[in-house]
Homo-oligomer: A and B are copies of this chain.
Amino acid sequence: MIKAGIVGATGYAGAELVRLLASHPQARVEAVSSVSYEGKKLSDVYPNLYGICDLVLTGADEVVEKCDVVFASLPHGLSEELAGKCLAAGKKTIDLGADFRLDSESEYAEWYGKSYKRPDLHEKALYCIPELHRSAYRGQPIIGNPGCYPSSVALGAAPLFEAGIAEKSMVIDSKSGVTGSGRGLTDTTHFPNCNEAFSAYKAAAHRHTPEIEQTLSALAGDKVTVTFVPHLLPVNRGIETTMYVGLTAPCTAEELHKLYSDRYRGEKFVRVLPLGRAANIRDVRMSNYCDIGIFADPRTGRAVITSAIDNMVKGAAGQAIQNMNIMFSIEEDCGLDFVPPAF
């Protein structure tokens, strides 16, 4: 039984990890920490967990000590120190924050306004969307778990860039449920402000931009740039990303569909939808699926790809568990058989 710990367990990704790990047959949550709620029970903060996970929240050190793998669910800039402690103690780290996602320290500095404190750790870390990067896992003790938006984009656009048929600059229009903004109280996430509302935010200026470009550029073997505009959607969960990709040669919808079907054959968590069906966040809620719907626009020479994930599962906690499974050499889909509800 893998002993799993969560540092930052009262954040949304942390709470979701507890929910998902509760039914994992080979792992159990052994310790949880929180700076703000240390000493309280997790179920006092999350009444849904009452009687299910009544663990008392501790400090981070206790989590490192007790567990085999530590999930770091922290604001950026705080994970390196924790990962260093884990490494020293021989424990594995899965970072759900942004600190181990970018290969380039200068890009990290540019977009996050900080430099690395422990550059040495980054050589021991792998950024891993399993469907794209699992083959690069060679025992690294740290995994940088991908961002929610970048996961939805990378899975949705990868086949086009791998096949070399995409122009080198694309438009990405993403829409995320409010849990993507986390548990912190803000004007934007006050119910009367975001209910019956919809707006773009950080247009062409979101921090996930370099992460997206890094992944697509690697697939394309050339620099790819993107105009990435996220929007806040008045739902709890889900990211829908609509991608507009200029094609370097004409391509029918059927050809695109075949390309995707071939690429993702055998990938349990990627569902290439039947031609004509767009991805809907409803159909992947609470699950680790990424649904992909494919369209061609021959009038303009673009492909339109729609992808849908649950931002808290495939976009965060679920993918983190998928990465944990990789790290511990167990079946990659172990404990992740969540069936999305119809409603």
Q: Which residues of A contact B (CB under 8 A)?
A: 12, 15-16, 19, 22-23, 46-52, 169, 171, 173, 175, 178-179, 183, 185-187, 189-201, 203-205, 225-227, 229, 231, 233-238, 240, 242, 244, 271, 273, 277-286, 291, 293, 295-297, 299-300, 302, 304, 306, 308, 312, 337, 339-343
On whether the beta carbons of A342 and B15 are closer than 8 Å, the reply is yes
A209 to chain B, nearest CB (A): 8
Task: Closest B residue to A169 by CB, please name it.
Answer: B300
On whether the beta carbons of B48 and A342 are closer than 8 Å, the reply is yes
A-B contact pairs, 11 of them (CB 8 A): A47-B283, A48-B341, A171-B171, A191-B194, A196-B282, A197-B281, A203-B295, A204-B295, A204-B299, A204-B304, A286-B341
* Known interface pairs A198-B240, A200-B279; 11 further A-B residue pairs with C-beta atoms within 8 A, sorted by A's residue number: A12-B342, A46-B342, A48-B283, A49-B342, A189-B192, A196-B238, A198-B233, A203-B242, A204-B299, A226-B300, A227-B304
On whether the beta carbons of B204 and A296 are closer than 8 Å, the reply is yes
Residues from chain B with a CB closer than 8 A to the CB of A279 are: 199-200
On whether the beta carbons of B242 and A200 are closer than 8 Å, the reply is yes
A190, A193, A236, A342 pick with most chain B CB within 10 angstroms:
A342
Given the interface contacts A198-B282, A341-B16, does A225 sit within 8 Å of B185 by beta carbon?
Answer: no
A48, A52, A183, A280 pick with most chain B CB within 10 angstroms:
A48
A47, A192, A299 pick with most chain B CB within 10 angstroms:
A192
On whether the beta carbons of A185 and B191 are closer than 8 Å, the reply is no
Residues from chain B with a CB closer than 8 A to the CB of A235 are: 195-198, 234
A22 to B337, alpha carbons, bound, how many Å? Answer: 9
A314 to B337, alpha carbons, bound, how many Å? Answer: 21
Given the interface contacts A185-B186, A198-B233, does A271 sit within 8 Å of B169 by beta carbon?
Answer: no
A254 to B229, alpha carbons, bound, how many Å? Answer: 19
User: Which of B47, B52, B187, B244 is close to A185, meaning CB atoms less than 8 Å apart?
Assistant: B187
Residues from chain B with a CB closer than 8 A to the CB of A204 are: 295-297, 299-300, 302, 304
A279 to B197, alpha carbons, bound, how many Å? Answer: 10
Kindly list the 9 A-B residue pairs having the minimum CB-CB distance in the complex, ordered from nearest.
A197-B282, A199-B280, A204-B297, A192-B343, A173-B173, A185-B185, A200-B278, A48-B283, A203-B295
